[in-house]
Amino acid sequence: MADKKEIIKLLSSMANLMEFNGENKFKVSAYRNGANVLRRLEDDLDELIRTKSLGNIKGIGKGLQSVIYEYAETGKSTEYENLLASVPDGIEELFLVRGIGVKKIKVLYDELGITNIGELEYACKENRLKLLPGFGQTTQDKILAEIEKLKIYSKYVLLNHAEKFYNEISGLLSEIKTIRKHEVTGELRRCLEVISSIKIVALCNDVTALKSELKNKIKINGSDDKIIIQADFPVPVYLFPVLSEEEYASRLFETTGSEQFLKKLNYNPERNKGSNEGEIFKSLNVSFIIPEMREEEFFSVKNKKLEENSTLSFEQFKGMLHFHTTNSDGRDTLEKMILKAKELNFEYAAVCDHSKSAFYANGLTEERVLKQKEEIAKVSGKTNFTIFHGIESDILKNGNLDYDDKFLSNFDFIVASVHSIFNLEEKEMTRRIIKAVENPHTNLLGHPTGRLLLSREPYKVDMKKIIEACAANNTAIEINANPRRLDLDWRLIYYAREKGCLFSINPDAHSTEDILYTKYGIMVARKAGLQPEEVINCFDEQAFIKFLNK
């Protein structure tokens, strides 16, 4: 027999889906009330189902009885499956977020096109919900808090979250006297965009003493060579203790590289040894490869120059490009964003608020663009800092940007991005984006695949054709550094480099804090060996102006 809780959940879900679809309110109420009746039911539900006696319960009509009997007998409901098929994919997970009812979910879908939790979180962090009627800042903050709670059910975590978890554990390990040194390894050391586990190698004096000290601070289990730290994180944490420098180097080497990478190297732990990773690479007759690049994709690179280790670092960045202010959906003023840029040693910036089609993000009308131009001049003079007037212009369905060509001449720097109508067929989406890339006003293609990690897949598009169009038109490709995006995918960066593309690594910042997202973009760029001369943010001001005058 079916579990009572499962049946209650089924009826509640069906009521939500019916309400979302705008079905008869009395039918919606019947299903919602039926779930409540079962919650309060003291009789044996299994017996009532077995004897087909549900009709004796007030509030459980024939329609509900049919659903319950079918579910009890087959483990599924035909009516529920039909309802699920009638709504956009992902909508049902929004019902898990406490604090928003079906009516609000319908508003979110109708107004912002939100269909899942990842999109909802992103919209909250871009301040889009507070602009909607019936929401506001308080509701937006509560929704964000509830989303954070739901994340613990995920099998993966974003790169920035994994980094935070590692830092917590690292602080704890630093207090263990028997540990001489420790270091992150595995997926996090390779800077993968999503992380399934956190791995750490520790050089210690005595494993028994280590485990004893750890038990005084946190729950652990596992073996002497692989300790499982039972932290309250959504992904597992593994600690690999070793007793010598040679063991440390070997363990670090073999847990950093992906399984396919080690196989391609013909790595043998018995044969390939050394007191550090450099010596291990030398034993393999291979030049040292930085941790980020130790993926199978490294071996598919045909141009040997592209195999060189990336030397890219935050210190080389001169231009802070693609960020938003309170003029659209940002949380900080232009002046505050520029002061933070100066503090971080940027030399110039390009503000790129949302364009007029982005009504959900308070996008700028032509009149407001001209008003912003005045503000830019004022803030630039006040801060003694060069500010280029940019815009993140929506790519419309037909591939046009959402200002006419004459008005686009008002901008110094134009980021063209897709923000709506994600469900086009591949050929149509590809044509749409290529047309925008070929627009002579476009300087940068923003977040090229539209993905939101762990929540929204990339839209259907032929990225190789897009990359080729960018190369042909001297349009740079963005590596959006927001940890929810990290888009362009690093696996495609190799191809774009082969075609001679330029790149721009941008935080897509909506606050001064978000500017620090830049480092995550650098992490994934390093995975594909990207060099400073290929990144327009590393250009000095004159070189950047030359790029703009393509």
Query: From residue 212, how far is each of 171, 204, 220 by CA, in Å?
Result: 17, 13, 10
Structure tokens at 528: 């594909």
DSSP, collapsed to helix, strand or coil, labels residue 327 as coil
Closest C-alpha among 204, 97, 159, 177 to residue 520: 159
Instruction: Give the integer Cα–Cα distance in Å for 76 and 70.
Output: 7
Q: Say if residues 27 and 18 touch (Cβ distance below 8 Å).
A: yes
For residue 137, with 0-12 CB atoms within 10 Å meaning exposed, 13-18 middle and 19 or more buried, which class applies? exposed
Q: Say if residues 300 and 491 touch (Cβ distance below 8 Å).
A: no
Going by DSSP bridges, is the β-strand pair 413-417/444-445 parallel, antiparallel, or unpaired? parallel
Instruction: Give the integer Cα–Cα distance in Å for 364 and 359.
Output: 8
Q: At a CB cut-off of 8 Å and minimum separation 6, what does 96 contact?
A: 117, 150
Closest C-alpha among 526, 509, 527, 510 to residue 518: 509
Backbone torsions φ then ψ of 353, nearest 5 degrees: -70, 170
pLDDT at residue 192, as a whole number: 97
Query: Phi/psi class of residue 190: alpha, beta or left (left: φ > 0; alpha: ψ in -120 to 50)?
Result: alpha
Cβ atoms within 10 A of the Cβ of 142, count?
16
Alpha helices in 216-258 (DSSP H): 245-256
Instruction: Give the integer Cα–Cα distance in Å for 186 and 199.
Output: 6
Q: At a CB cut-off of 8 Å and minimum separation 6, what does 3 contact?
A: none
Q: What is the pLDDT along the chain (550 residues), one digit of tens a residue?
A: 567 778 988 999 999 999 999 999 999 999 999 988 887 676 778 888 888 988 888 899 989 999 999 998 888 899 999 999 999 988 988 988 877 889 999 999 999 999 999 899 999 998 888 888 888 888 898 898 888 877 754 678 999 999 999 999 999 999 999 999 999 999 999 999 999 999 999 999 999 999 999 999 999 999 999 999 998 888 999 999 999 999 999 999 999 999 999 999 999 999 999 999 999 999 999 999 999 999 999 999 888 899 999 999 999 999 999 999 999 988 899 999 999 999 999 999 999 999 999 887 889 999 999 999 999 999 999 999 999 999 999 999 999 999 999 999 999 999 999 999 998 999 999 999 999 999 999 999 999 999 988 878 899 999 999 999 999 999 999 999 999 999 999 999 999 999 999 999 999 999 999 999 999 999 999 999 999 999 999 999 999 999 999 7
pTM, full prediction: 0.79
Maximum pairwise Cα distance, the chain: 83
Instruction: Give the integer Cα–Cα distance in Å for 544 and 413.
Output: 10
pLDDT at residue 257, as a whole number: 97
Instruction: Give the integer Cα–Cα distance in Å for 41 and 27.
Output: 21
Indicate the DSSP class of residue 355. Answer: B
Structure tokens at 305: 């120059």
Indicate the DSSP class of residue 24. Answer: -
pLDDT at residue 129, as a whole number: 87
pLDDT at residue 362, as a whole number: 84
Q: What is the DSSP string of 487-506?
A: BS-HHHHHHHHHTT--EEEE
Query: Phi/psi class of residue 458: alpha, beta or left (left: φ > 0; alpha: ψ in -120 to 50)?
Result: beta
Q: Say if residues 463 and 422 touch (Cβ distance below 8 Å).
A: no
Residue showing tokens 């079962």: 38
Instruction: Give the integer Cα–Cα distance in Å for 482 and 535.
Output: 17
Structure tokens at 461: 């598009």
Strand partners, 509: 323
User: Which structural domains are found in the chain, ordered by start?
Assistant: 1-87 (1.10.150.110), 90-153 (1.10.150.20), 157-307 (3.30.460.10), 314-548 (3.20.20.140)
Alpha helices in 87-236 (DSSP H): 91-94, 102-112, 117-125, 136-150, 159-173, 186-189, 207-215
Q: Say if residues 60 and 142 touch (Cβ distance below 8 Å).
A: no
Instruction: Give the integer Cα–Cα distance in Å for 275 and 279.
Output: 7
Instruction: Give the integer Cα–Cα distance in Å for 161 and 165.
Output: 6
Instruction: Give the integer Cα–Cα distance in Å for 510 and 79.
Output: 43
pLDDT at residue 456, as a whole number: 81
pLDDT at residue 486, as a whole number: 98
Indicate the DSSP class of residue 310. Answer: P
Residue 521's H or E segment, with its range, is helix 518-527
pLDDT at residue 383, as a whole number: 98
CA 11 to chain centroid, in Å, comes to: 33
DSSP, collapsed to helix, strand or coil, labels residue 108 as helix
Closest C-alpha among 16, 181, 27 to residue 96: 16
pLDDT at residue 232, as a whole number: 84
Backbone torsions φ then ψ of 90, nearest 5 degrees: 95, -20
Query: From residue 48, how far is each of 12, 41, 115, 369 by CA, in Å?
Result: 20, 11, 38, 67
Indicate the DSSP class of residue 399. Answer: S
pLDDT at residue 3, as a whole number: 72
